[in-house]
């Protein structure tokens, strides 16, 4: 079916180019930039799970973490209801509000800011999460009567060796992950949610990512990260349906029934010291990663998708330490993006990986793996973790539900 | 011819999708993300003018300004020679160096960092410029024996009313503008030039732009800026060949013969206070801009491309004040990009326009127009200029030439 739809789209696009109309050429561009074998440029918003997790990873990211600045639970809940409707509209390629940027009341601010007018939905997904601080604040206060509903899996992340975390890139009561194949579509969505949240939430931090570093579907080619290596080869993928309930989706039996069908998101801003990396020999780079640079094959032999023979890889190589076999079989669905935030005060490119990983329980997944990596990974010489956040990502909203409605019910 | 090539490409792409090979689907994605009616994904590097000026504006930007940290003119010249060869290679879709990221000597750092392996050239252009400080530094010192060759048109920009310029986003001895339809391709190019420049230059500042805000060719649809309005409707375009010598390209008769065929680039980082803008009524927004939001038609009537009747527009509207008729017929080729750099310490989105404009003489073009805008433009309430830089962009390198060879000759 995927191929069927792609055929129709490409044939339609070809017709559009032939007539040379500018609106039509925009269609070509936007349609085809929906990457790899994508059946449509609209990703359904409602369902058992939120979109933007097993959705084939889009090309661009705008991630935002919010502080809730109201003490009024009703006010927060009303915002979540309004956000949900706006998010659903925007994922369909519509404006954030019913009146719009260009059909609005002339004496009122537009319901939508307008910069995505005429753009395709670009496979926009908006994925919502709640942080530990929404349940209990730093003073131990039950802010919204939710403290008893905090899942055990949403335990604060411990510190790891080598962490150099900054408040400016850490924490958050709420988050929204906007992914799309067009950055303007992702930026537009975040900007409109921020606008709607005025007085109820405030942006705590935000991060743009320009290129995906993982595949979350067998249909996608493996991208390269800023080390120049293929990344995410052994990532958990949408097609591994039997594995998803084990490793990705929270289950009712896990304790917090409102999270059943949801997942837990760990976000880490990982600065890469690429200038140092770039002075490292090819051989050293490959031994540090544990894969060859061209194919991405494990150094134990084979091709990219060949399972590594861990005992034949350097003991501190990243692949060996991060591999499920080294971590009690634990797997995560990684969905990170490369970022460049300009240059730092020393003239180094301020660049790295904005790591995003979804999992059923961070205590046995991210925390366990990162403990091992932080202790021994040869890549650590070229990495600094500067930001960290953890969110519970509720199940997908059904018809009439809103983001987090199972939590607030 | 454009249509011919697009046809072949799309048909090839369609075939690729049908067989479902992952390498082939990447081709589809990359080919078609080359926007609008593009004849090829390689833009020729050498020619009478540098690429990246009249080239139909690509979708993504990575701009970098450098300080030169050597006092040795030969060392600088050698870097420019090496940069030129690397830039030419990268615009063809090759690695930065002849040995490459994956075929390198195992005990040497790779000649290329690798993250663009397998990606298309994505219409990459690399455009090089030199700033006033390369000729004479802040102490009045003739750093490289070039002081006498400084063009009069490269006069330091004056201060403008409302400027809140920060050193962190201003100035530079050299610049490189990398534009491509794939951000990873632009980032890769800048990163490799930075790597090659170690010890000779240091990054002073860098800026990513996620979306073009101007069209530089009749073949392109007009994009929208972060105010939600179509921008650059009356921009100087590649097809206006008779106008380019008048407004864009420096002429031998202008005084600095080495710049003939070059142009002058003004870069301004313009923060938009979008939260304030978003609370402004639709009517006010349209009166401030001087166009309607839906079509982009001037408020004096017609459609997007209708010439405005300036006397019928609000006196302080942006279009009226910025229009060539209000500025002695002056025109520039604008090539700016929207940016979002996350959020600021107050939780506002740190977003705006990275304004880039090429012109024959900034004294009569940007400076004259900006004086008028800074004094009266109704948009000023929603704009803050936080960065400023000026560069002489030499003519395009012919065979065997290097970036700036006419200056160093």
Instruction: Write the pLDDT tens digit of every residue in A346-405.
Output: 889 999 999 999 999 999 999 999 999 999 999 999 999 999 999 999 999 999 999 999
| A120 part of contact set with chain B, CB < 8 Å | no
- Plot region of B125 (φ>0 → left; ψ -120 to 50 → alpha; else → beta): beta
Check whether residue A28 and residue A96 sit in a common domain: no
Can you give the pLDDT at residue B379?
A: 96
Mean pLDDT of the B74-79 span: 98
**Quick one: A275 and A342 in the same domain?**
yes
Residues A75 and A97 in one domain: yes
Q: Is A114 on the interface with B (CB under 8 A)?
A: yes
Contact B115 A203 (CB under 8 A): no
For the cut 50, the answer to whether the pLDDT of residue B300 exceeds it is yes
- Spell out which residues of chain A touch residue B348, defining contact as CB-CB under 8 Å: 203
Query: Residue B190 above 60 pLDDT?
Result: yes
| Minimum Cα–Cα distance from B167: chain A residue | A345
Are the beta carbons of B10 and A26 separated by less than 8 Å? no
Name the band, by pLDDT with cuts 50, 70 and 90, for residue B312.
very high
What is the rounded CA–CA span in Å between residue A175 and residue A236?
Answer: 22
At CA B30, angle to CA B127 and CA A279, rounded to 5?
60
The reported pLDDT for the residue numbered B345 is 85
Mean pLDDT of B143-167: 97
pLDDT of the residue at A179: 98
Asked if the C-beta of B8 comes within 8 angstroms of chain A's C-beta atoms, the answer is no
First-residue to last-residue Cα distance in chain B: 39
- Same structural domain for residues A300 and A286? yes
Residue A21: band (very low, low, confident or very high) from pLDDT cuts 50, 70, 90: very low
- Closest chain A CA to residue B204: A347
pLDDT number for residue A231: 79
**Chain A contacts of B32, Cβ < 8 Å?**
13, 28-29, 31-33
**Domain shared by B20 and B79, yes or no:** no
Query: Is pLDDT above 70 for B26?
Result: no
Does B58 lie in the same domain as B24? no
Of B25, B187, B280, the CB nearest to A340: B187
Distance from CA of B317 to the nearest CA of A (A): 17
Q: Are B237 and B202 members of one domain? A: yes
Residue B11: band (very low, low, confident or very high) from pLDDT cuts 50, 70, 90 = very low
Residue A160 shares a structural domain with residue A13: no
Same domain, B279 and B207: yes
Give the per-residue pLDDT at A232. 75
Q: Does the CB of B96 have a partner CB in chain A at under 8 Å?
A: no
Whether residue A188 is found in the same domain as residue A121: yes
The tens digit of pLDDT for each residue in B270-292 reads: 999 999 999 999 999 999 999 99
Checking if the pLDDT of A39 tops 60, the result is no
Position B20 confidence tier, pLDDT thresholds 50, 70, 90: very low
Counted across chains A and B, CB pairs separated by less than 8 A come out at: 275
**B88-141 per-position pLDDT tens digit:** 999 999 999 999 999 889 999 999 999 999 999 999 999 999 999 999 999 999
Say whether residue A11 is in contact with chain B using an 8 A CB cutoff: yes
Complex prediction ipTM: 0.89
The A residues from 345 to 404 touching B (CB cutoff 8 Å) are 345, 347-349, 351
Interface contact A62, partner B, CB < 8 A: yes
- Residue of B221, B275, B348 with shortest CB distance to A22: B221
Mean predicted lDDT score pLDDT of chain B: 90
A15 and A3 belong to one structural domain: yes
Query: Of A208, A343, A351, which has the smallest distance from its Cβ to B340's Cβ?
Result: A208
Domain count for chain B: 2
Chain B partners within 8 Å of A67 (Cβ): 347
Q: Which of residues 155-174 of B touch A (CB under 8 A)?
A: 168
Q: Do B36 and A25 touch (CB under 8 A)?
A: yes
Residue numbers in B near A107 (CB within 8 A): 281-283
B39 to chain A: which residues are within 8 Å by CB? none
Specify the 3-state DSSP secondary structure of B350: strand
Is pLDDT larger for residue A301 or for residue B10? A301
Task: State residue A408's pLDDT score.
Answer: 96
Say what the pTM is: 0.90
**Backbone φ/ψ region at A122: left (φ over 0), alpha (ψ -120 to 50), beta:** left
- pLDDT tens for residues B345-386? 888 999 999 999 999 999 999 999 999 999 999 999 999 999
- In this structure, of A79-88, B2-11, B348-357, B388-397, the range with the lowest mean pLDDT score is B2-11
Which pLDDT score, from 0 to 100, does residue B322 have?
94
pLDDT reading at A26 higher than 50 = no
Both A15 and A110 in one domain: the answer is no
B28, B60, B347 ranked by CB distance to A202: nearest? B347
How many CA atoms, within 13 angstroms, populate the side-chain half-sphere of residue B384? 12
Q: Residue B351, SS3?
A: strand
DSSP B150: -
Chain A neighbors of B176, CB-CB under 8 A? none
Please provide the distance, in angstroms rounded to a whole number, between the alpha carbons at the two ends of chain A. Answer: 38
The pLDDT tens digits for A197-227 are: 999 999 999 999 999 999 999 999 999 999 9
Domain that holds residue B9: 1-33
Q: Do A343 and B206 touch (CB under 8 A)?
A: yes
């Amino acid at each position: 079916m995927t191929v069927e739809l792609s055929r129709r789209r490409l044939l339609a696009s070809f017709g559009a180019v032939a007539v040379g109309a500018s609106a039509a050429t925009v269609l070509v561009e936007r349609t085809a930039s929906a990457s790899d074998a994508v059946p449509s440029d609209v990703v359904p918003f409602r369902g058992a799970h939120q979109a933007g997790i097993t959705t084939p990873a889009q090309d661009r990211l705008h991630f935002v973490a919010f502080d809730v600045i109201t003490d009024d639970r009703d006010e927060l809940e009303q915002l979540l209801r309004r956000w949900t409707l706006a998010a659903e509209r925007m994922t369909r390629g519509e404006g954030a509000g019913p009146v719009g940027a260009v059909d609005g009341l002339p004496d009122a601010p537009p319901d939508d800011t307008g910069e995505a007018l005429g753009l395709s939905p670009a496979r926009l997904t908006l994925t919502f999460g709640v942080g530990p601080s929404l349940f209990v604040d730093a003073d131990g206060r039950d802010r919204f009567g939710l403290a008893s509903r905090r899942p055990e899996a949403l335990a604060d992340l411990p510190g790891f060796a080598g962490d150099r975390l900054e408040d400016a890139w850490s924490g958050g009561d709420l988050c929204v992950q906007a992914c799309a194949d067009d950055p303007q579509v992702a930026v537009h969505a975040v900007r409109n949610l921020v606008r709607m949240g005025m007085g109820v939430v405030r942006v705590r931090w935000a991060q743009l990512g320009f290129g995906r570093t993982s595949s979350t579907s067998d249909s996608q080619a493996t991208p390269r990260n800023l080390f120049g290596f293929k990344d995410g080869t052994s990532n958990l993928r949408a097609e591994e349906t039997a594995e998803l309930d084990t490793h990705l989706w929270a289950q009712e039996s896990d304790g917090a029934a409102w999270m059943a069908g949801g997942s837990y998101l760990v976000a880490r801003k990982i600065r890469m010291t690429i200038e140092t990396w770039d002075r490292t020999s090819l051989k050293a780079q490959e031994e540090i990663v544990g894969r060859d640079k061209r194919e991405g094959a494990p150094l134990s032999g084979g091709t990219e998708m060949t399972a590594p023979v861990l005992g034949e890889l350097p003991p501190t190589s990243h692949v060996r330490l991060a591999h499920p076999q080294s971590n009690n079989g634990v797997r995560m669905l990684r969905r990170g993006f490369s970022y460049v935030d300009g240059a730092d005060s020393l003239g180094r490119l301020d660049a790295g990986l904005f790591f995003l990983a979804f999992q059923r329980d961070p205590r046995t997944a991210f925390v366990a793996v990162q403990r091992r990596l932080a202790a021994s990974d040869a890549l650590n010489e070229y990495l600094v973790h500067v930001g960290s956040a953890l969110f519970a990502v509720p199940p997908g909203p059904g018809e009439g539900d809103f983001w987090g409605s199972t939590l607030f019910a």
